Each structure stands twice: as structure tokens, then as C-alpha cells.
Amino acid sequence: MAETAAPRKSREGWRGRFLASPYLLLIPAAIALAGVSIYPLFYGVRASVTHYLYGRDFGFNGLTNYRNVWHDEFFRQAMVTTAKYVVCAVTIETLLGLGLALLVSREIRFGGPIRVGLILPMTIAPVVVGVMWRLLYDSGVGVTDPLFQLFGASPPDVLAHDTSAFISVVLVDVWEWTPLIFLILLAGLQSLPQEPLEAARVDGAGRVRLFLDHTLPMLRPVLFVAITLRVIDAIGTFDQIYVLTKGGPGTATRLISIYAYNTAFLFTQYGQAAAMLIALLAMVMLLMIVAVRMMRKSLR
């Protein structure tokens, strides 16, 4: 009995170690992930419940930062502006991206160069995009005002008025990021199964019916991914708007990212800036959960 127990014990030990080894091997990756992803998030949450005065830490502050943020009318304004910006930009980008993808997905002459040309804007750094468009819009040296004057209209001074400045920053986003949606949808369109489409064609479906009843439903998951990616990205837009308008005129283009940046680095209110961004993160996550559920429901 004693002779057989020892080898069995040893075999069990080996088996245990063998079963544990994948988890052991995951430890370095888990530590790296915790270091670069979870710790900053934890630090952000911690900062949001800390009282900072003139950049200095005065300890735990409960939910005061969140309360201050809630009562801050500029934060609410920035949230509304961000929501308007995201809705306008992503809607236009989706419609344009879809249209372009449908156009280019068919074999056309010069299809390759056209595709390359269409994706060029998104390869440019957002700061450079901001500078470029600033030069175009500028009242002094830009091309917009002279163009209007050429046709006898008064110069619009696009960046000097609330509505035109807002439209102009949305346009810049559309110009830069429509290619991303175009690219994702083009890939989606080219990977759609052809059989259902051909069957519908044989049944006499026209182009519109084919698109509405077959292409669009099959493309919906890809469309959802594209829109989700763009919404998340558009909420965090900073560079080009900072270069173009710095959030002005007034607060017309002040997105939450710009307001949080100013709050942290100009006004040294780190706690409130962290609270703003954590609140925003919570809202985005909530939005995404709702969107995913709606998507699943519609797919069923």
C-alpha cells in the first residue's frame, strides 16, 4: 500500500502542476495588462474622489467632485455639445461612408486609386488636420471668405460665429473619419455571401429592394461595429478642435474633452477633471450596453 501511494501522489502533483501551468503562463501578461490598463483606470477613479487644491492632494473627498461637476453648467453645456457633435458627425459619416462603399464595391474603372484617395484623410494626424482646416477657414488668409466674396456674398467668418463654427468642426470630422467607416463597410460588403443577392435578383428584385431587404440586413453587424467605433472615438475628439477653435466661440465647440483638459491642466482641478471623465465613461458604457442589446434584439 505504502509502495503504490507515493507514485500516485507524485502523478497527481504533476497533473496539478500541468493543469495550473496555463494560468502561471498568463501571469506576466495579466500583470502587464493590470499595469497599463487597470491601474490608470483605478488611479482615475481614485483621483475623482480626491480633493485637489492648486494641484495638491488634500485626501479623500467622497462624491464632492461629482457633485461639483453636476452643478457645473459648463460641464452640462459641454456634454450637450459633445452629444450634438457625435450625433451629427457620425450620422453624416455613416451615410457618406455607406454610399461610397456601395459605389466602390462594384468593379469600376480606377477603383484602386479611388479607394486609396478616399482613405487618405484618415492617415493624417489630427493636429495637422486642424492646422490645415484652420488655414482654410481663417478670415485673414483662408480660402473660405474670398470664395464667398467672389460670388458677391459677405464673408462668413466661419470660426467667429457659433453655428458656423460648430458646423465647420463637424465637417472636419466628417472629412477625416468618413474613410474609416467607408473602409469597414467596404470590407463588409465584399465579404457578404452572394447567393441570397443573386437569388433575389433572379426573383426580380430591383436595386433599392435588394439593398433594403438583403444587403442592409446582412451588413447590419458590420455597420454596428463601425458606428460603435466612431461614436467612442468621436466622444474623445480633442486635437483638431483645440487647434481650430479651442472650444469657441464662447462655448459653441467646447467638447467634454476640451473642458476636462482645461479643468485639469489650466485650472489644476484634477479631481473634478477625473470626475468628469469617469462620469463620461460611465455614460458611454451605458450607451454601449443599450446599443449592444438593441443590436442583439434586432438580429434575433
Partner 1 sequence: MSDSTTSERSSRSYTRRQIVKGALGTGAVLGLSPLAAACGGGSSSSGSSGGAGGGSITIGSFSDPAMVPFRDVFLKKFTAETGIKVNYHETNYDAWFQNSKTDGLNKTGAYDIYVMDDNWVPEYAASGIVQSLDKLGLKVNPDILAKGLDQGYWPPKSGPRLQAFANDTPELFSLVIIDDVEILYYNKDYFPTAPVTWDDILNVAKTKSHPPSLYGWSPRGVAGNPIVQTYLPLLNSYGGNFANDDWSPGFAGPEGVGALERLFEFIPYMPSGIAAFDTSQETAVMLQGHCTAMTEYTGTAHVVDDPTQSKVVGKIDFAATPKQVKSGPAIGTFICGIASGAPNTAGAVKFLEWFTSSKVQKEFAGGGSAAVTGSALRDATLSAKYRWLPAIADAVDNSIPKPRTPDEPKMEDLLGTELNQALVQAISQKSGYTQIAQSHLTAAANQITAYLKQQGTYGF
**Shortest Cβ 91–partner 1 spacing (Å):** 26
Cβ distance to partner 1 smaller for residue 215 or 253: 253
Cβ distance to partner 1 smaller for residue 105 or 253: 253
Cell readout for 199 is 437569388
Give the list of residues 6+ apart from residue 239 with CB closer than 8 angstroms, or none.
Answer: 125, 126, 127, 129, 130
**Shortest Cβ 137–partner 1 spacing (Å):** 8
**Shortest Cβ 87–partner 1 spacing (Å):** 24
Give the three-state DSSP class for 207. Answer: helix
**Shortest Cβ 159–partner 1 spacing (Å):** 4
Cβ distance to partner 1 smaller for residue 53 or 116: 53
The C-alpha atoms of residue 300 and residue 298 are separated, in whole angstroms, by 5
Cβ distance to partner 1 smaller for residue 215 or 245: 245
Give the three-state DSSP class for 271. Answer: helix
Cβ distance to partner 1 smaller for residue 121 or 248: 248
User: What DSSP character marks residue 249?
Assistant: S
The C-alpha atoms of residue 117 and residue 121 are separated, in whole angstroms, by 8
**How far does Cα 180 stand from its chain's mean position?**
11
**Shortest Cβ 260–partner 1 spacing (Å):** 13
The amino acid at 138: D
How many residues would you count in the chain?
300
Cβ distance to partner 1 smaller for residue 156 or 196: 156
Cell readout for 121 is 484623410
Alpha helices in 106-191 (DSSP H): 111-119, 126-137, 144-150, 162-190
Residues in touch with partner 1 (CB under 8 A): 50, 52-59, 67-68, 71, 73-74, 138-141, 145, 154-155, 157, 159-162, 165, 245-251, 262, 265-269
Q: List the one residue out of 223, 228, 236, 218 whose CA is nearest residue 291.
A: 228
> What is the end-to-end Cα distance of the chain in Å, rounded?
60
Cβ distance to partner 1 smaller for residue 10 or 149: 149
Using the structure block, give the residue that is written with the C-alpha cell 446599443.
291
Cβ distance to partner 1 smaller for residue 224 or 238: 238
Can you name the residues that pair with 56 across neighbouring β-strands? 53
Q: Which helix (H) or strand (E) holds 7?
A: helix 2-33
**Shortest Cβ 277–partner 1 spacing (Å):** 17
**Shortest Cβ 270–partner 1 spacing (Å):** 9
**Shortest Cβ 71–partner 1 spacing (Å):** 5
Cell readout for 215 is 444587403
Give the list of residues 6+ apart from residue 131 with CB closer than 8 angstroms, or none.
Answer: 243
